[in-house]
Amino acid sequence: MNNCTLFGEDYSYLVPLLLYKSENGYVHSRFANGFNIKMEDSLVFIGNNKNGLLPFGIHLREEDTLRAVSSVNNGDPVTWNKNTNSIELPRVTISIEKGNSFKNELTTLNSTAIFKASFEQFCLQLMKIEDRTGLDVSFNEFLNKLHAADEQSWLGAEAYLIMLMEAAMSSDEDLMEKVLRYFLGRGQGLTPSGDDMIVGMLAFDAVSPTLSTSFYEKVSELIEGESITTDVAREYLRYALKQEFSSTVSNLVNAFADGNDPNFEKVLYDLIGVGHSSGLDTVLGILIGMLAFRKTKIDTN
């Protein structure tokens, strides 16, 4: 196959900085929607925008994605050519010369009144979801237990979700480590369910800071210090710790922060549609983040 050049339509503003820092790498993983290249210790996704615009993504048109994926194999060498602003592989070149740089901006939640309205709207939608998350949690059952007047006995993943809320707002490092070790790497696929859930939690915190600095530090320490999860999940978490998220995630938390967003249902189901259960797991994390916010900023007032 002759080498062809494909042009990225959109790319994260962070990608060029990363490529200038490390010019050589290899194809890390490929799938129907695109492929990841590994440059030193960082990943760059090249592919379509089916799962939103990624903070480490170069996004191609659908037909170009098909051509690109069929032209690469895992392990293929990759070189960044700074003179042509292109990524060179053995059978295809990906150029960002004509692309648009993007940043998935975040809105700040300005009032508890907006939070209360958004939270109520969110819970009403979640009660309609019949699918269980990748962590085997039913939104309906979980929310009903939370709202029950009597003391609940929490089991399995639900018990750890309750512990996670407590740990994330505290400075108890032992508790943090216990719950994070339960969730990080838990589940199947390129991004295990537990990791997606933590990303969701960090996403809501990005628009309404509640979680402790110690919690951020503990997540970073675990994902950087050992192979606790997959390379792809670690990449999403690294960006989440810097408040950088995919557009499907940022659109939803922005809708909560804005309040009365007419597109709320659409952006919720856009996120739910990501991956096999990734979207649902991220939504669960956003719910946990909102519950932590409610417990700290509303229930204590």
Count of other CB atoms within 10 angstroms of residue 74: 11
Instruction: Summarize pLDDT for 264-301 with one digit per residue, the tens.
Output: 999 999 999 998 899 999 999 999 999 999 988 776 55
DSSP string, 52-87: ---TTEEE--HHHHHHHHHT--TT-EEEEETTTTEE
DSSP 179-219: HHHHHTT-SSSSS-HHHHHHHHHHHHHHHS--S-HHHHHHH
Residues 6 or more apart whose Cβ sits within 8 Å of residue 257: 106, 107, 108, 109, 110, 114, 118, 207, 208
- Please state, as a whole number, how many other Cβ atoms lie within 10 Å of the Cβ of residue 73: 12
Residues 70-115 pLDDT 10s: 999 999 999 999 999 999 999 999 999 999 999 999 999 989 999 9
Give the separation between CA 143 and CA 123, rounded to whole angstroms.
8
Q: What is the pTM of this model?
A: 0.94
What percentage of residues in the chain have a pLDDT greater than 90?
Answer: 86
Interval 247-262: pLDDT, tens: 999 999 999 999 878 8
pLDDT at 155: 83
pLDDT at site 2: 59
Question: Which residue type occupies 117?
Answer: A
Pairing outcome for strands 77-81 and 86-88: antiparallel
